[in-house]
Amino acid sequence: MEETISINDAIVKFNQENLIISRKKGFAILTNQNSKDSFLNVKSVVKHKKTNITETKMILDKLNHNKDVSPPFSLLVDDVNINDVVIVTYDCVTAIVSLELSKANDKNHQSSSDIMKGGKKSLKNINILLFVDKNLSKDNLLKLYMNAVEGKSSALWELDVRDKFNELFTGGNNDTVLIACKEFEDPEEETDEIKLQQMVKKCVRDALVKAIRNSGYFRNILDFINSVGVEIDDLVEAGMDLCVGVEKTDELYQKLKAQILKSLEDINVITLIMAGIRVEEDYEKHRLEEVDVDDDPAYLYTDEVLGMAIANQIAGTKAIFNFKRYDEEKPGIISDLGPMLDDIFAGLVAGCMSKIFEE
């Protein structure tokens, strides 16, 4: 199969094993793969899908006998299916992005970000091949390399991809960035450097966003709740702690849990909880110069407003009175949370407790 990129006289071919980009006149490249020399002249750039038994020497021998590969060539080996590679072209720039995923329980990649629902897989490495239809100096390529990295960071920020510590994921330990132009020399025609840099950043960002989306990435409200250290069972136990006048049975436990999950399908409850989570993060990281709520000051009451709004949305006025109990007593997990989170989850628990006793 064939594809096109921004460099018109480049030939792009791919099959189940290889993505091969060749050019008769060759490419001038900058890559972080080669420890001896980052700047190289090559005839082909090859992305090869490895298997468990594939060794680099075997790959090289095979490619050296491939009529579509013109030596010398630069080789990227990863475990990404060729069909999962994302190619985006804007004018004179093409970004080719592939994601290496690992199982979430892979001990070698415990700092990776959960990227698939249920944590089944995590993002291990991000590989970026960038082609620019221009002659560029080495200084130009270095600048574009930084722009490509900025584009990667922008995509990860846009999708709010997190690591296991709930910090923004910025990339894997073995991320690859390769930038190829036509020749190492100053551009023959006048080049708008700022426009080119912006285009590179946008092209990489959009390609990476598409690749991450294609891999199945999304975060639902339960993912966001888990990211702040709260499990649904923690909330159920907190609710049961202040349950008086009735027997604390397993049936009651399951009924409360079901109600919490049902309430978390309400877009209004979701919105109020997300507001609390976002504000808590901003306060915790001291992003607002005028605000310091580390000691949960008494004059901060908007946290209670959010909590009461959540309780009221779930079960009406009576739940607001129940919220005051949970806010003051702070049972279980609620006592471990910050100034915004303790009240929004107190409101969620109070509202659900009130709701299950309506019948």
pLDDT, averaged across the chain: 87
pLDDT of res. 29: 95
Provide the domain limits for residue 281. 221-356
Mean pLDDT of 160-187: 86
pTM of the model: 0.80
Same domain, 202 and 235: no
* 214, 230, 261 - which closes a domain: 214
Query: Which amino acid belongs to residue 157?
Result: W
Most confident option among 37-46, 124-133, 275-284, 305-314: 305-314
Mean pLDDT of 322-332: 95
Instruction: Tell me the per-residue pLDDT of 197-248, one tens digit each, with 9 for 90 and over.
Output: 999 999 999 999 999 999 887 789 998 999 899 999 999 999 999 987 788 8
What is the band of 63 on the pLDDT scale with cuts at 50, 70, 90? confident
Same domain, 210 and 61: yes
Instruction: Tell me the per-residue pLDDT of 7-17, one tens digit each, with 9 for 90 and over.
Output: 999 999 888 78
Same domain, 169 and 38: yes
CATH of the domain at 226: 1.10.3760.10
Tokens 């096109």 belong to 4
* 198, 214, 230 - which closes a domain: 214
Q: How far apart are the first and last CA of the chain?
A: 64
Q: How many domains does the chain divide into?
A: 2
Same domain, 206 and 228: no
Instruction: Tell me the per-residue pLDDT of 90-128, one tens digit each, with 9 for 90 and over.
Output: 999 999 999 988 765 554 444 334 444 445 567 888 999
What is the band of 54 on the pLDDT scale with cuts at 50, 70, 90? low
Same domain, 168 and 137: yes
Same domain, 157 and 276: no
Same domain, 179 and 225: no
**Residue 108's Cα: distance from chain center in Å?**
19
CATH of the domain at 14: 3.60.70
Same domain, 90 and 123: yes
Mean pLDDT of 153-175: 87
Question: Looking at the predicted structure, is the pLDDT value of residue 337 above 70?
Answer: yes
Same domain, 227 and 261: yes
Cα–Cα distance between 279 and 289 in angstroms, integer? 14
* 214, 236, 261 - which closes a domain: 214
Structure tokens at 116: 């698939």
Quick check: bond before 72 cis, omega within 30?
yes
Same domain, 250 and 326: yes
Same domain, 194 and 273: no
> How far is residue 272 from each of residues 166, 266, 279, 348, 357, measured CA to CA in Å?
20, 10, 11, 10, 23
Same domain, 239 and 104: no
Structure tokens at 240: 């049961």
Cβ neighbours of 143 (radius 10 Å) = 17
pLDDT of res. 274: 98
